Structure 1
Amino acid sequence: MRIKSLLFWAFSLLVPAISFADEAKLDTGDTAWMITATALVVLMTVGGLILFYGGMTRYKNIVNTVMMVLMAYAIAIVVWFLWGYSMAFTDGYGALDAIVGGFGKFLMNGVDYKALSGTYPEWVFATFQSTFAAITIALAAGAVIERMKFSTWLVFVILWITFVYAPIAHVVWGGGFLFDAGALDFAGGTVVHINAGVTGLVLALLLGKRKDYKKTAILPSSVVLTALGAGLLWFGWFGFNAGSAFGANEVAGVALLTTNLATAAAVISWVLIEWITAKKPTLLGAASGAIAGLVAITPAAGFVNAAGALIIGFIAGIVGWFGVYVLKKALGYDDSLDAFGVHGMAGIWGALATGFFALQPLAWDGSPLQNGDRMGQIIVQVESILFTIVFTAIMTAILYFVSSLLTGGARVDEETETMGLDEATHGERGFNL
């Protein structure tokens, strides 16, 4: 009897410990990594993308290009914490939850600073996600620089984060219908890159071509700046992809390796095909290949092995080159810095390739792939690609016309375009030589 009492007493002491182990608990290692990953994504935008885009544009528009990226980042961050985060990552109202969340966390309302998202603070998660929203719209700027009014762009950014990015993020990541269907997007192939690429393409088509497009040589101000920007983007992308493991864990290690390998493979393939077709390997091509590889591996980074990453990256360089030098020429649109050619095309390839190369042990719980349904996963990936393209294209067109109406037209006048937007709009020069 005494032995039974002692066993009961020992068990009663263990129960609270067992219950406590099952509760969410702050992990300082995960928290430190997620803060670091967030800082790396910030560097991608306000460091890497600024240099990458700034070097690609003409010297008379470099200040305007940098301002478009910088202001897009700043505005997106503010809009995100006002209502974007809530719309993306809270439950929506009734049937609308399939597309968009609600406003229960407006300005982080009701979210205590000690509240956790997994093993780290929700405030850290919200900040990490804010950088994704910001870089997505900043990427789209590359399609319209040198001819879009600065005021129109600022209004468009506010509307776009609200009515395009937040719903797409909710649909794929925040509990919407593609999330429920098991769509795999590890770090933003659909949410970020297809979204940004399609947005840029629609804006470029609606704005029309630059007045001297295909009439005079349009030379980048500095391919060296662009290469430096690509290097910073490559560096920061480890936070983008490995950070999307949401912890200092083995999946982050998978994403680290696959991101680096795929990017290197894409640099090689882009330079090779450029060397074969144009007889000269260029620094701009190598830098563009790096971005194509980074984009393509993003949706697959935590789901594939080294062999899958190598294939995805190598093909990404070819797909990106095709988008820039074949597709754009065939269709005749003026995508200034090839936002669609690189991000849109490589993003589509990466999202599709995820369905082909994702490994079951690395897939998130509940995905169709874990049930052994490879074809079912590919179909879901195609659905996510098509939904993102259609939704983004329609909403972007609507928001463009609204922004244009509110700012008295979206395009600068011919005199401003000839002079360059740096002096005409900002009263500054990027280089005073």
Structure 2
Amino acid sequence: MYNATDEASWINHGDNAWQLTAASLVGLQSVPGLVVLYAGIMRSKWAVNSAFMAFYGFAATLIVWVLWAYKVGFGVYMLPFAGRPGPVMTIQMELSQSNLPSAGLSQAFPLSTMVYFQFVFAAITIVIMAGAFLGRMNFTAWMLFVPLWITFSYSIGAYSLWGGGFLFQRGVIDYSGGYVIHLSSGTAGFVGAHWIGPRLAADRAESRPNNVLCVLIGAGILWIGWNGFNGGDPYSASADAGVAVLNTNVATAMSLLCWTICDMIYFKKPSVLGAVQGMITGLVAITPAAGVVAGWGAVAIGFASGTIPWLSMNIMGKKVAYFQKIDDTLGIFHTHCVAGFVGGFSVGLFATIDGCAAFGITNPGGAIEGNGKQVYIQIYGALFIIAWNIVWTSLIMMFIKYVCRIPLRMSDEQLELGDDAIHGEAAYVLGPCEAHEHLLAGHYVKRSDTRPGELGMGGITLGHDPHEMVSTEKGGPSTNNGVKTE
């Protein structure tokens, strides 16, 4: 039975308040952050589907998490890389003190707070990965993929590095998910894109965002939400949480500036989308290092994350035939796998003894502190996460395709129509403004007819081919742009 006196002996209300705040900030990164970003960055005919993939992934992950996956990632030892699965559903469990039994750590807040905090990390990992599959993955396959991948891939990485598993015991440092979240989602996204297959050639050729301002709104939510992402991982409102927040913003700003400068040198103009990519790679790269490096280390990591993934995306990604073959829609491999590896490697170089102590680990720092073997330990951890995700993402995709007999890719007919075919919904209905239809560059439009008894407010629905011959309700003739003629 719940006893308020017992709770008072272990709870720190400040830590609990910060942990719930940090968790809410991370949750906002997915919903609405990446939901809005995906809706804006894709062609208009994919806006609803792209946003809904993220929306569904967030919800499905939570149910899987509380029923069995949390304990796989943070529960009692079962295997060197997995805890014993089980639910976290009783009121006694939710009110009890949080602890990580395999790591031998306890926190000054309830288990329910920890479960939710770790859930939003699991959710954003699956939502990030969705960015590699946008514009062609069968939604039914996605519905099955999410719980399987969270169970057999994400939870394994979480236990191995955070829950007290073998990488934790080996001393691999992943402050807030550079490996568990970003390296895994980047690897799995690239592998999954291989199994699903590419978008239509027309969609790949004409891939301009339908709303850059929506992209910036989503990016802004991501950036500020990352204060909870990295600031929450000391599991307390500690001095190290403040260090993590400051370093996160310093590295991100540096990375954005470097990416923009690279764009100006190579493409002769600054790109808003390029700046967003640089922001994301900065956030990703500082994540494994946020609270264990000094400020100048954050600047160095920001420089690396603003240049190395830029080269990966804009040189290797466009000139190496294999990367052209794999249709990674939003370049998740470059922005998360490459940047996550850069960040994890940088921990081996720049981790400080004082930063590690403030974080609560006994690690003797990185190469700058004379502990050069930390570099090899970090590489070892990265290779495990990469290999595990290559194998298990492939196995899950094959299970869905060959055992469940569910196509991974939509039919060509669905790919032609987009949202209308899959969801029966369109992202934007605009009008009447026929004189400005040409401003809807890169998108198909279709005028809607005014129904009897309605005001003459026929508008423009984005996501349809204006040149498609559309028959009228009466079976009469129509023009090429779908406007009924008498």
Name the TM-score, length of structure 2 as normaliser. Answer: 0.81
Which residue, out of 350, 363, 381, partners 1:367?
363
Q: How many residues align?
A: 408
- In structure 1, the partner of 2:85 is 103
Task: Evaluate the alpha carbon distance shift between residue 203 and residue 69 of structure 1 in structure 2; reply closer, same or farther with a 3 A threshold.
Answer: same
Displacement after TM superposition at 1:224 (Å): 1.4
- In structure 2, the partner of 1:232 is 221
The separation in 2 between residues aligned to 1:54 and 1:269, in whole angstroms, is 26
Displacement after TM superposition at 1:344 (Å): 1.1
- In structure 2, the partner of 1:350 is 343
The separation in 2 between residues aligned to 1:281 and 1:347, in whole angstroms, is 24
Q: What residue identity is the alignment partner of 2:274?
A: G
Q: What residue identity is the alignment partner of 1:167?
A: I
Contact 2:140 2:406 in 1 (8 A): no
- In structure 2, the partner of 1:40 is 25
Q: Would you say 1:425 and 2:422 are equivalent positions?
A: yes
Q: Which deviates further from its counterpart, 302-311 or 399-408?
A: 399-408
Identify unmatched segments of 5+ residues in structure 2.
Answer: 99-105, 431-486
Q: Would you say 1:196 and 2:193 are equivalent positions?
A: no
Q: What does 1:130-149 correspond to in 2, within 5 Å?
A: 130-149=119-138
Displacement after TM superposition at 1:140 (Å): 0.4
Deviations 1:180-222 (A, max 9, x none): 0011001000000000000100011112221216873221111
Q: Would you say 1:217 and 2:206 are equivalent positions?
A: yes
- In structure 2, the partner of 1:416 is 414
Displacement after TM superposition at 1:321 (Å): 1.6
Which residue, out of 302, 311, 315, partners 1:326?
315
Contact 2:94 2:110 in 1 (8 A): no
Task: Evaluate the alpha carbon distance shift between residue 38 and residue 215 of structure 1 in structure 2; reply closer, same or farther with a 3 A threshold.
Answer: closer
- In structure 2, the partner of 1:403 is 400
- In structure 2, the partner of 1:13 is none
Structure with greater contact order relative to length (CA < 8 Å, sep ≥ 6): 1
Matched residue SS, 1:119: strand
Displacement after TM superposition at 1:297 (Å): 0.4
Displacement after TM superposition at 1:92 (Å): 2.5
Q: What residue identity is the alignment partner of 1:431?
A: Y
- In structure 2, the partner of 1:63 is 48
Name the TM-score, length of structure 1 as normaliser. Answer: 0.91
Q: What residue identity is the alignment partner of 1:346?
A: A
The separation in 2 between residues aligned to 1:400 and 1:213, in whole angstroms, is 25
Contact 1:323 1:340 in 2 (8 A): no
Contact 1:81 1:108 in 2 (8 A): no
Displacement after TM superposition at 1:325 (Å): 1.5
Which residue, out of 113, 136, 146, partners 1:157?
146
Displacement after TM superposition at 1:281 (Å): 0.3
Task: Evaluate the alpha carbon distance shift between residue 170 and residue 109 of structure 1 in structure 2; reply closer, same or farther with a 3 A threshold.
Answer: farther
Displacement after TM superposition at 1:24 (Å): 6.2
- Cα RMSD (Å) of the superposition? 1.9
- Fraction of identical pairs, as percent: 38
Q: What residue identity is the alignment partner of 1:25?
A: W
The separation in 1 between residues aligned to 2:211 and 2:94, in whole angstroms, is 47
Please say which structure displays the higher CA radius of gyration: 2
Q: What residue identity is the alignment partner of 1:208?
A: G
Q: What residue identity is the alignment partner of 2:144?
A: V
Deviations 1:101-157 (A, max 9, x none): 002555468625132441111210111000000000110000111111000001000
Q: What residue identity is the alignment partner of 2:139?
A: F
Displacement after TM superposition at 1:232 (Å): 0.5
Q: Would you say 1:29 and 2:14 are equivalent positions?
A: yes
Q: Which has the higher helix share?
A: 1
Q: What residue identity is the alignment partner of 1:63?
A: V
The separation in 1 between residues aligned to 2:187 and 2:233, in whole angstroms, is 23
Q: What residue identity is the alignment partner of 1:256?
A: V
Identify unmatched segments of 5+ residues in structure 1.
Answer: 1-19
